[in-house]
């Protein structure tokens, strides 16, 4: 059976792990051809020094029903990104979806540390990885995406525009990075909309990524064991949840209604009718505002 994205070509930039991997797999499950890029390969790890690789992600995409194509790429290198886009052009002739999920800053920020005390080199590296990479990738990929009508760009970030507007996010550098990506989607919406394409920002909620599960000493099959130590983790979600959000957006013939907007996995779930893998619909950003941030006891009832 063909999926709703059969014949569509996607590039998920930053698909080695976490949200990027979840998005790539769900696009594959919908029948898309998915190019997945990142720096960690079976031959060489990035400075994250983690076992996940772009080749593994490509295999998962194919196993899900799509065609996964791994292209090791450092998105801080314009020539490498140009070569990646040229390859997609040569092999497919078009690009329907660009997901900018490049991050790489997990070990580069310190919680609640003011800018004058924060390691400057790490902070500036974080900004390069989280912001400059997105600009480089858009610069090279958008001409191919605009070659046909109806293209979609999804800028992945952490937090909705409303939440980040009113909330200090972790540190000066982290806050600036995630807010910058939100603004990128807004700006791209103005540039792409008149040309027949759509750009939007999308955030997952509290993501049960490989790194997060490891930090809490649990696995996906026993993640609730962490609730005794971290009760609000009850609102967390798998990377596949935001992946289903992207797949739904990519299959929506009226996706232009979201142009320039800031969206979340939990906010889109009731609109498109998808769930997380366990059948629930966690709405993390509403939960944060109404429960966690106002100091109420952890209780995800009514929020998933």
Give residue-wise pLDDT tens across range 81-129.
999 999 999 999 999 999 999 998 888 999 989 999 999 999 999 999 9
CA-to-CA distance for 201 and 29, rounded, in angstroms? Answer: 22
pTM of the model: 0.96
pLDDT exceeds cutoff 70 at 214: yes
pLDDT exceeds cutoff 70 at 1: no
What average pLDDT is seen over the chain? 96
Length of the chain equals 304
Residue 187 has a pLDDT of 98
pLDDT exceeds cutoff 70 at 200: yes
Residue 137's pLDDT band, with cuts at 50, 70 and 90, is very high
Segments making up each domain of the chain, as ranges: 9-206+239-276
Share of the chain above pLDDT 90, in %: 93
Residue 172 has a pLDDT of 96
Strand pairing category for 152-156 and 33-38: unpaired
Residue 40 has a pLDDT of 87
* CATH number at 9-206+239-276: 3.40.50.720
Residue 51 has a pLDDT of 87
pLDDT exceeds cutoff 90 at 161: yes
pLDDT exceeds cutoff 90 at 274: yes
Residue 76 has a pLDDT of 97
pLDDT, one tens digit per residue, over 24-67 is 999 999 999 999 999 988 988 888 888 889 999 999 999 999 99
CA-to-CA distance for 15 and 20, rounded, in angstroms? Answer: 4
CA-to-CA distance for 134 and 6, rounded, in angstroms? Answer: 26
CA distances from 180 to 106, 132, 168, 215, 238 (A): 17, 10, 14, 27, 25
Share of the chain above pLDDT 70, in %: 100
């Amino acid at each position: 059976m063909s999926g709703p994205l059969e014949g569509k070509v996607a590039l998920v930039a930053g698909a080695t792990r976490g949200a990027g991997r979840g998005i790539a797999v769900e696009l594959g499950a919908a029948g898309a051809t998915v190019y997945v890029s990142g720096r960690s390969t079976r031959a060489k790890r990035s400075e994250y020094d983690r076992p996940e690789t772009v080749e593994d992600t490509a295999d998962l995409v194919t196993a899900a029903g799509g065609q996964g194509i791994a292209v090791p790429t450092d998105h801080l290198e314009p020539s490498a990104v140009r070569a990646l886009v040229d390859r997609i052009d040569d092999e497919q002739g078009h690009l329907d979806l660009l997901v900018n999920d490049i991050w790489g800053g997990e070990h580069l920020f310190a919680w609640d540390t003011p800018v004058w005390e924060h390691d400057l080199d790490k902070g500036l590296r974080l900004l390069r990885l989280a912001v400059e990479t997105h600009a480089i990738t858009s610069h090279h990929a958008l001409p191919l995406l605009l070659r046909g009508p109806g293209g979609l760009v999804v800028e992945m970030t952490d937090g909705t525009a409303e939440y980040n507007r009113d909330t200090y996010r972790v540190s000066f550098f982290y806050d600036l990075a995630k807010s910058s990506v939100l603004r990128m989607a807004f700006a791209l919406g103005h540039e792409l909309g008149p040309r027949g394409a759509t750009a939007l920002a999308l955030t997952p909620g509290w993501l049960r990524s490989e790194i997060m599960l490891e930090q809490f000493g649990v696995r996906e099959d026993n993640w609730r064991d962490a609730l005794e130590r971290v009760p609000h983790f009850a609102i967390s979600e798998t990377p596949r949840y935001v992946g289903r959000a992207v797949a739904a957006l990519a299959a929506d013939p009226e996706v232009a209604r979201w142009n320039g907007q800031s969206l979340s996995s939990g906010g889109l779930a009731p609109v498109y009718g998808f769930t997380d893998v366990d059948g629930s619909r966690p709405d993390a950003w509403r939960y944060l505002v109404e429960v966690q941030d106002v100091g109420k006891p952890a209780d995800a009832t009514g929020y998933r």
